[in-house]
Chains A and B, each alone.
Chain A
Amino acid sequence: MEIINDLLLFLPATIVAIGGLTVMMLDGYKARSRTIYTTTMVFLGIALGVASWDLLMQAPELIFSDMAGAGGTAAFGTFIVVFGTFFTVILTHDYLIGVKHNFPQVYPLLMFCTFGMIVLATANDLVTVFVGLETMSVCLYALAGIIRDKRLGVESALKYFVMGAFSTGFFLYGITLLYGATGSTSLPEIGAYTDGGLIYWGGVSLLLVAFMFKVSAVPFHMWTPDVYTGSPTTITAYMSTAGKTASFVALVLILDRAMPFIATELTATFSIIALLTMILGNAVAMVQDNVKRMLAYSSIAHVGYLFVGLAAGSVAGYSAVLFYLLAYTFMNVGAFGVVAYYEKNHDVHFNNVESYAGLGYQRPIMGVLLSIFLFSLAGIPISAGFNAKYLVFSAGIEAGLVSLVVVGVLASAASAYYYLRVMVYLYFREGKESVSLIEPKKVYSFSLVFLALLTLYFGVVPGGVTEMIYGYFSDSMLTATAP
């Protein structure tokens, strides 16, 4: 049967969804938190295995009556999402125990959220995009406030929810208008429509505004720092990597499939957004003393670099964006992982950069790991972050956006300031002797080491994966062709 075949091709999402339900049931029947965690990991592990297999073996294909895709970009997006979730759960478990708030509800929420992200990243239809986006968002609102007796967390959850609901309105309205103009919600069919007109452009702009909100591009970024600071640290890592990846993959798919003929017309808009986002994100990150908040702002800055790739509007630009997301997931989950480790040993105020003084010499492995991640985030060579930036910027130059790229390069030079500042505190300041770090769990440090190795590996040999991504666009049967 076709539906069975489709479900098989959609296996990672199916496994994650069933896993979420199972874990929720376990929680309902008062299972031990250890059991819940283990079950979650088993399901995620299987899903990650399947996702990896899909990534390497599955050819691009459309499933569920062309509502979603499998293989190609879909497999790529799924892989990053599941990968990010896998490590998030490892880190979250440890973190929540550390801060003495080990709510078992976090696991089903994470699973449902991941399901939403997979749907979003594999969508081939605006309705599927919407379903994925909302499944993801609703879970994220709840996750942001999961530590209920922390006022900052609750406040951030409320802010996130109100503003998220607002942008959802934009999104729905955008879909409606686009359907009205083109008579379809399917991405390739919208892409075949070339007439323009008020309704069409109204729909396009509403849709893009909603996406800019979801990926926190300036000027729709205001929620990001508050939410990222207020949420549990590992959840922040999750939002900024898996969540952002899913949204960006969907955005790239929409641009590539549904709007191929207006890519050049969108260049100006995206360039302005990129410009604002890079400048503002970096400028503000510079003055943050709270490391978590600094990473939140820096994630805005990274969205700016990603928009350079989108502004290029070319195959090179889109594939650069996808590579960037992969690299960003490795390094950002890693960086947040170390920050969470430092934090859970103490209290929330420990996120201040001053309290990092001299920590690099205690538990040297953690200091080295954080340095690797920060180096990569700053885009310093032989790290995945450098290659990601290089690809995005060279795509920009190829598309003739030289001045935008120059601003981007200067902005990322400025970013070195605040990333290195953390390292200056780690190594070049005398620490207080009162601070002593507990030994990290083996699985915790192994995960981080693994992420660091990946960061370095894709810094030295990015060739294979970039070629693979490039292939998604150049010979993809899903790409709309000119009528």
Chain B
Amino acid sequence: MTILAALLLIFSAAFFGPAAAKYLKKSSGWVLALVPFTVFAYLLSFIPVISGGDVVKESWVWVSYLGVNMSFYLDGFSLMFGLIVSGIGTFIMIYGGGYLAADSNLGRFYFSILLFMGAMMGVVLADNIVALFIFWELTSISSYLLIGYKYEKEDSRKSALQALLVTGSGGLALLAGLIILSMITGTMEISEMFGQSGLVAEHPWYLGALILILIGAFTKSAQFPFHFWLPGAMAAPTPVSAYLHSATMVKAGVYLLARLNPVLSGTLEWTYIVTGFGAVTMLVAAWLAIAHTDLKKVLAYTTVMALGTLTMLIGMGHEYAVKAVAVFILSHSLYKGALFMVAGTVDHEAGTRDIRFISGLRKTMPMTAAFGCIAALSMAGVAPLLGFIGKELVYEAALSSVSFPMVLIGMAVLANIAVVASSGIVAIRPFFGEYKEYNNKHVHEAPLSMWIGPGVLSVLSILFGILPFLIDTAIISKAAGAIAGTPDLVVSLKLWHGINAPLILSIITLLSGIGLYLVWNKVRESGAVQAYDRIMGQGPVKGYEGWLNGTLGLAAAQTKFFQNGYLRYYMLCIVAFFVVLVGYTMLVKTDMIIVADFSDIYFYEWTLAGVIVIAAFAAVFAGSGLVAIAALGVVGYSIALLYILFSAPDLAITQVLVETLTVILVALVLIHLPQSKVKVSMGSKVRDGILAGSLGLIVTLIMLAVLNTEFDPFMTDYFAENSYVVAYGRNIVNVILVDFRALDTFGEIVVIGVAGIGVYALIKLGKKVITKKEGTTA
């Protein structure tokens, strides 16, 4: 098996999802779970290789001359992510099968979630930036389908579109950033960029690439001020939230930052932007969590807080921070995945997930309650769970930050106090206290499929907490080393570090958090927290909606203005732009020296020119169309006279004929047209006048320039010399027509012949239509 085969396995399974839902019914989730589990087992087999210090690369040529390959890169970090994606994915398939067992669209769920799973695996394993981007956008699209799963609800359609627009646009910014990065480094493989951080940092495009990539990562990982889409995405069915919005998709941004850390970090811009946005997100989101009573909303905000923490740690970039990133990603995925599933189970069984209406469920659903509590303890950072180790490391990293350590640790502690309170909200409120039913719905324990996932994940939280050596050399060391860009980093995790600053801070956090939980109801209802939620929680949503509506409004206004359907208006625009473009080009590109020589112009030529000008003005100011046509006719005949004066009788005849025909035709048309009732205002007359004048000016300038160039007598001489010698004709014009340009003339005859056939067909058609009409009326 290869990595590509593993991905294809998941993608092809997606297409069997609907069939599985139809024919396997209840067991479909269990069967489909075999797919991610196979991949999980396959990835586990790499642990000896990876922890031995090797990396695995795989590459298939895709578009060779562009350097785009379908290539994969497996090191400690992508392995850890791959294990999370496939491991939690296994339980999500089982859980989803139970959760949506009664839903008629279960097949669609399987399809979308497997599609997403494949894409997410692609994101964490891809080495080529184009491949990475493609998988990245696929996660956005599949998440759109998943959030909009209950499409009959307006709310879920809106949230789905919101999530797609935010993450999708971010994805495109990311593509631009990645392409710039590949231009700088000259390679499309991330693994080949690793050695070039110095080159990248000094490049003038560095900041541009950095900002674009950060936009991509921040939108995906819901960093402030894009944090609003994640709580909105809670409209998705809970299995989706548990998978996408806690453990996998939202971590893609963090994954990318960590992946590119060896390439992009080490500059002040990186440190300040990444740390800053991460820290602000962490603090803002943590306190937004306690303003809500919807279990999933609370969890969503704590997830945003965790993502902020990770971003902050990546921004710091020193050894402690990197270790903390690796541990925190794992611990968070374990407890948050479990908690979301528990919240979903509660919702499923009790009919609501608003904690104001439910309590005391521990007696009726003991398994769910137990696992929920364990996961919540891990989230609160209570020893001996893995969450405790994670939080200790976060504190340690903040304390040893190079810049502003005191500010960062303050923010971290404040944020974690809120998280402790949130843990209480999600694990104590629903399960303890007096038994309360919502809408008299009888509550009982969920089926095995719905508690096995949280069960395994929370047991792992305990196991890894008590026996951290199980993972530290096998997974965490290499993951942290890959993030830092120093593969031989050694991490040894311990539960007990002795009494030190992080421990004291942990105890403070825990006690304050419990305190906050006890007064939570009052705090939540207080004006300050509500106002805070309006500004920080709803504010960005308003901003997004304002931006969306503003864009649409602008587009509408612009359409009304430019695309009003009037032909005359279109002409006006085209002439105006023509004047600007051509005039500008001529002004800039040429020196515009035009020598006008009026010495050999006779008075009758001046007179004719005068008549033309006067007639032109008369045409413009004429009251009726007929007068204008007559005036234009005067212009045309005067030009014919000019031709005669310059001894070109053939041209003059043509001109007279065409002019006569035009005047008669236009006059005929005008007689049949209704009188225009539109009054043209003075302002628009002046505008049209200026425009027409400048168009005339440009054409005149070109004419003068043409006159200024030297006349090339080549063609004239050629015809004069050869018409008698070669073609035996004395009338040069005739000779040109029938001899030198015989093919042209032949072509003209062909055209007339073709036109004749056309006319014939049309005449026949006229008859046909008439007979047809008679037929239908009769």
Residues of A within 8 A of B (CB): 21, 24-25, 27-30, 105, 108, 158-159, 162-163, 166-167, 170, 173, 177, 180-181, 183, 196-199, 201-202, 204-206, 209, 213, 219-220, 222-223, 225-226, 265, 269, 280, 283-287, 380-382, 386-387, 390-391, 393-394, 397-398, 402, 405-406, 409-410, 412-414, 416-417, 420, 424, 427-430, 461-463, 466-467, 470
Those of B127-141 within 8 Å (CB) of chain A:
130, 133-134, 137-138, 141
Q: Does B712 contact A (CB under 8 A)?
A: yes
- Complex Cα distance, B144 from A28, in Å, reads 56
Given contacts A397-B180, A413-B168, contact A286 B578 (CB under 8 A): no
Given contacts A394-B179, A398-B183, A466-B65, contact A222 B570 (CB under 8 A): yes
Whether the Cβ atoms of A198 and B552 lie closer than 8 Å is no
- Complex Cα distance, B208 from A29, in Å, reads 67
A-contact bits for B718-761, CB 8 A (1 contact / 0 none)? 00000000000000000000000000000000000010011011
Q: B754 to chain A: which residues have CB within 8 Å?
A: 21
Whether the Cβ atoms of A209 and B570 lie closer than 8 Å is no
Q: Does B645 contact A (CB under 8 A)?
A: no
Whether the Cβ atoms of A222 and B152 lie closer than 8 Å is no
Determine which of B161, B205, B555, B570 lies in contact with A159 in the assembled complex, contact meaning CB atoms within 8 Å. B570
Whether the Cβ atoms of A28 and B764 lie closer than 8 Å is yes
Whether the Cβ atoms of B175 and A409 lie closer than 8 Å is yes
Given contacts A27-B761, A283-B555, A380-B137, contact A417 B165 (CB under 8 A): yes
Binding-face segment, B93-101, B272-280, B420-428, B702-710: B702-710
Q: B552 to chain A: which residues have CB within 8 Å?
A: 286-287
Q: B589 to chain A: which residues have CB within 8 Å?
A: 196, 201, 265
Q: Does B778 contact A (CB under 8 A)?
A: no
Whether the Cβ atoms of B151 and A428 lie closer than 8 Å is yes
**From B764, which residue of chain A is reached at the shortest CB distance?**
A28
Q: Does B562 contact A (CB under 8 A)?
A: yes
Whether the Cβ atoms of B558 and A283 lie closer than 8 Å is yes
Whether the Cβ atoms of A284 and B183 lie closer than 8 Å is no
Q: A397 to chain B: which residues have CB within 8 Å?
A: 176, 179-180, 183
Q: A462 to chain B: which residues have CB within 8 Å?
A: 63
Nearest-neighbour CB distance to chain B for A217, whole angstroms, equals 10
Q: B577 to chain A: which residues have CB within 8 Å?
A: 209, 219-220
Determine which of A387, A393, A398 lies in contact with B176 in the assembled complex, contact meaning CB atoms within 8 Å. A393
Q: A284 to chain B: which residues have CB within 8 Å?
A: 555, 558-559, 563
User: 10 A-B residue contacts at CB 8 Å?
Assistant: A108-B761, A163-B571, A170-B578, A173-B702, A181-B709, A284-B563, A287-B559, A409-B173, A416-B165, A428-B148
- Complex Cα distance, B130 from A388, in Å, reads 13
Given contacts A21-B754, A222-B563, A410-B169, contact A402 B761 (CB under 8 A): no
- Complex Cα distance, B172 from A417, in Å, reads 14
Q: A280 to chain B: which residues have CB within 8 Å?
A: 558, 562
Q: A202 to chain B: which residues have CB within 8 Å?
A: 582, 585-586, 702, 705
- Complex Cα distance, B570 from A280, in Å, reads 16
Q: Does B64 contact A (CB under 8 A)?
A: yes
Whether the Cβ atoms of A409 and B765 lie closer than 8 Å is no
Whether the Cβ atoms of A28 and B709 lie closer than 8 Å is no
Q: Does B439 contact A (CB under 8 A)?
A: no
Q: B578 to chain A: which residues have CB within 8 Å?
A: 170, 209
Q: Does B684 contact A (CB under 8 A)?
A: no
Q: A386 to chain B: which residues have CB within 8 Å?
A: 134
**A-B Cβ contacts below 8 A, count:** 186
- Complex Cα distance, B205 from A253, in Å, reads 33
Q: A406 to chain B: which residues have CB within 8 Å?
A: 173, 176, 208, 212
Those of B112-145 within 8 Å (CB) of chain A:
130, 133-134, 137-138, 141, 144
**From B153, which residue of chain A is reached at the shortest CB distance?**
A428
Given contacts A24-B757, A196-B590, A284-B558, contact A201 B179 (CB under 8 A): no
Given contacts A199-B705, A381-B133, A409-B173, contact A393 B161 (CB under 8 A): no
- Complex Cα distance, B161 from A170, in Å, reads 45
Nearest-neighbour CB distance to chain B for A182, whole angstroms, equals 11
Given contacts A163-B570, A382-B134, A412-B172, contact A466 B63 (CB under 8 A): yes
* Cβ-closest 6 pairs across A and B: A28-B761, A381-B134, A428-B151, A413-B169, A222-B570, A283-B555
Q: B591 to chain A: which residues have CB within 8 Å?
A: 198
- Complex Cα distance, B67 from A391, in Å, reads 12
Q: A416 to chain B: which residues have CB within 8 Å?
A: 164-165, 168-169
- Which one of A170, A205, A398 has the greatest number of beta carbons of chain B within 10 Å? A205
Q: Can you add 8 more A-B contacts, CB < 8 Å, to A199-B702, A205-B585, A416-B168?
A: A108-B761, A158-B567, A202-B702, A209-B577, A220-B574, A269-B585, A397-B180, A417-B165
**From A223, which residue of chain B is reached at the shortest CB distance?**
B570
Q: B581 to chain A: which residues have CB within 8 Å?
A: 205, 209, 269
Q: Does B504 contact A (CB under 8 A)?
A: no
Whether the Cβ atoms of A105 and B161 lie closer than 8 Å is no
- Complex Cα distance, B28 from A190, in Å, reads 70
Nearest-neighbour CB distance to chain B for A405, whole angstroms, equals 6
Given contacts A196-B589, A394-B179, contact A222 B573 (CB under 8 A): yes
Whether the Cβ atoms of A414 and B141 lie closer than 8 Å is no
- Complex Cα distance, B133 from A413, in Å, reads 14
A-contact bits for B569-612, CB 8 A (1 contact / 0 none)? 11101100110011001100111100000000000000000000
Interface size class of B (residues with CB under 8 A): 35 or more
Nearest-neighbour CB distance to chain B for A333, whole angstroms, equals 24
Whether the Cβ atoms of A287 and B556 lie closer than 8 Å is yes
Given contacts A28-B757, A410-B169, contact A402 B180 (CB under 8 A): yes
Determine which of A21, A205, A398, A429 lies in contact with B757 in the assembled complex, contact meaning CB atoms within 8 Å. A21
- Complex Cα distance, B570 from A209, in Å, reads 15
Nearest-neighbour CB distance to chain B for A231, whole angstroms, equals 15
Whether the Cβ atoms of B573 and A424 lie closer than 8 Å is no
Q: A201 to chain B: which residues have CB within 8 Å?
A: 585-586, 589-590
Whether the Cβ atoms of B65 and A198 lie closer than 8 Å is no
Whether the Cβ atoms of A177 and B706 lie closer than 8 Å is yes
Q: Does B62 contact A (CB under 8 A)?
A: yes
Q: Does B768 contact A (CB under 8 A)?
A: yes
- Complex Cα distance, B763 from A30, in Å, reads 11
- Complex Cα distance, B133 from A293, in Å, reads 31
- Complex Cα distance, B754 from A42, in Å, reads 21
- Complex Cα distance, B66 from A462, in Å, reads 10
Nearest-neighbour CB distance to chain B for A131, whole angstroms, equals 9
Given contacts A206-B582, A381-B134, contact A162 B180 (CB under 8 A): no
- Complex Cα distance, B141 from A374, in Å, reads 13
Q: Does B565 contact A (CB under 8 A)?
A: yes
Q: Does B654 contact A (CB under 8 A)?
A: no
Q: Does B196 contact A (CB under 8 A)?
A: no
Determine which of B179, B565, B571, B585 lies in contact with A204 in the assembled complex, contact meaning CB atoms within 8 Å. B585
Nearest-neighbour CB distance to chain A for B517, whole angstroms, equals 40
Q: Does B157 contact A (CB under 8 A)?
A: yes
**From B548, which residue of chain A is reached at the shortest CB distance?**
A417
A-contact bits for B158-201, CB 8 A (1 contact / 0 none)? 00010011001100110110011001000000000000000000
Given contacts A199-B706, A463-B64, contact A159 B558 (CB under 8 A): no
- Complex Cα distance, B563 from A226, in Å, reads 9
Nearest-neighbour CB distance to chain B for A393, whole angstroms, equals 7
Q: Does B531 contact A (CB under 8 A)?
A: no
Nearest-neighbour CB distance to chain B for A422, whole angstroms, equals 13
Determine which of A283, A381, A382, A466 lies in contact with B551 in the assembled complex, contact meaning CB atoms within 8 Å. A283
Whether the Cβ atoms of B151 and A427 lie closer than 8 Å is yes
Q: B141 to chain A: which residues have CB within 8 Å?
A: 380
**From A394, which residue of chain B is reached at the shortest CB distance?**
B179
Nearest-neighbour CB distance to chain A for B574, whole angstroms, equals 6
Whether the Cβ atoms of A198 and B592 lie closer than 8 Å is yes
Given contacts A393-B179, A463-B62, contact A219 B565 (CB under 8 A): no
- Complex Cα distance, B171 from A386, in Å, reads 13
Q: Does B535 contact A (CB under 8 A)?
A: no
Nearest-neighbour CB distance to chain B for A101, whole angstroms, equals 12
Given contacts A398-B183, A428-B151, contact A28 B760 (CB under 8 A): yes
Whether the Cβ atoms of A183 and B574 lie closer than 8 Å is no
